[in-house]
Homo-oligomer: A and B are copies of this chain.
């Protein structure tokens, strides 16, 4: 396309100015995106989360709900993101020995993909979780946050290579 910046970033116009790319002519199609990430925690925090599961504590619920709400806030957080009709969100949190694995699936029928929504979901779930455990483990680390898979739109099915 002739109206992009030499860098190739679609969010920049030829002069380098930020813009929101026009997607009004794109088709409304069903789209999904899956993103994952991990919060590394101390053994003490992992134990507390596991025990927290038993007496129905809200520890993981807080992180799940933070993730779902974060997905809806994506256009507020990411300056050039289009507001999008988020139509479905699942956040799976799995307590593992080294911490908590997060997997977010976001679905929509709209004009642009939802990978940013899936990433935002993972990151806000991670923030909610860290806020919960920070008194026990101030050294939590968020790692490996990434898009795993996308469907829909012009690109069709995409899966990361490695």
Contact surface of A with B, Cβ cutoff 8 Å: 5-13, 15-25, 30, 37, 48-49, 51-62, 64-66, 68-93, 107-111, 115-116, 119-120, 123-124, 126-128, 130-136, 138-147, 150, 158, 160-162
Residue from B49, B109, B140 within 8 A of A146 (CB atoms): B140
A138 to B6: give the CA distance in the assembly, Å. 19
Which residue in B19, B37, B140, B160 is a CB contact (below 8 Å) of A91?
B19
Contact yes or no, B12 A52, CB < 8 A:
yes
Name which residue of chain B comes closest to A55, CB basis.
B16
Asked whether A30 lies within 8 Å of B19 as measured between CB atoms, the reply is no
Let me know if A85 and B83 touch, CB within 8 A: yes
> How far is A136 from B13 in the complex, measured between Cα atoms in Å?
15
Which of the residues B119, B128, B136 comes within 8 Å of A9, measured between beta carbons?
A: B136
Take A24-B88, A58-B61, A116-B130 as given contacts and tell me if A142 and B37 are in contact as well, using a CB distance cutoff of 8 Å. Answer: yes
How far is it, in angstroms, between the C-alpha of A69 and the C-alpha of B46 when the chains are bound? Answer: 26
User: A123 to chain B: which residues have CB within 8 Å?
Assistant: 123-124, 126-127, 142
In contact, A24 and B108 (Cβ under 8 angstroms): yes
